[in-house]
Amino acid sequence: MYAAAGDDLTAVPWANLKPFPLLVEWLDGAGTAVSGAALVVGSGYGDDAEELARRGFAVSAFDLAPTAIERTHERFPESTVEYRVADLFELPAGWRERFDLVVEIRTLQSLPIEERAAAARAIAGTVAPGGRLWLFALARDAHARGETRPWPVTPAELAVLEAAGLAWESRREDLLDADLYDVVGTLRRPPLG
């Protein structure tokens, strides 16, 4: 989709070309209580990564789509963010339990259902002891037949994050329509010792 969009960044349906408002709201509330090294999963055109960098985080960000990363470099030529083209399923070994804050917005729901558990494990695996995952996902209690993309995530898929060592610190569900809801919250890996 990024390649098809070319220079027309507005042609990518999820790209708002501004930081995700609920993330900004959370960061405003968290203040200096969260800081350090941050990772943005599926960083798209880079707005969330740039927001974190603006707030003083040392930011790494990755996306599978080379065009998204290329456009990001064009949009933010002076950026301090370390952007790379990378696959969630083959992350650098050095990212293992490395980040104080990991931001995951709408990547899980873009992946085929059979890849969700491995994806959730890979994301959780980047959170440092004492670190947090900030998550936003469209959700439904069970998969519906014939559903089209994005495919909402289920509680069972989100539970993989807990099985991988994270615990919910805050969690909110915003009902959208019948059984469809947004899940927004943070999970934390317990500190060492």
Which chain residues interact with ligand SAM by CB under 6 A?
A: 14-15, 42, 44, 63-65, 68, 87-89, 105-107, 110-111
Q: Could you tell me the smallest distance in angstroms from the CB atom of residue 71 to ligand SAM?
A: 11
Dist. CA 95–CA 23, nearest whole Å: 22
Sheet of 167-177, strands arranged across: 82-85, 58-63, 37-41, 99-105, 127-140, 180-188, 167-177
Dist. CA 127–CA 39, nearest whole Å: 9
Q: Could you tell me the smallest distance in angstroms from the CB atom of residue 143 to ligand SAM?
A: 18
Of 30 and 64, the one with the shorter C-beta distance to ligand SAM is: 64
Residues 11, 44: contact at Cβ < 8 Å? no
Q: Could you tell me the smallest distance in angstroms from the CB atom of residue 69 to ligand SAM?
A: 9
Q: Could you tell me the smallest distance in angstroms from the CB atom of residue 175 to ligand SAM?
A: 20
Query: Two tokens at 38?
Result: 């941050």
Residues 132, 188: contact at Cβ < 8 Å? yes
By Cβ distance, which residue is nearest to ligand SAM?
42
Of 13 and 129, the one with the shorter C-beta distance to ligand SAM is: 13
Of 92 and 190, the one with the shorter C-beta distance to ligand SAM is: 92
Residues 47, 16: contact at Cβ < 8 Å? yes
Of 31 and 139, the one with the shorter C-beta distance to ligand SAM is: 139
Dist. CA 115–CA 6, nearest whole Å: 28
Of 38 and 88, the one with the shorter C-beta distance to ligand SAM is: 88
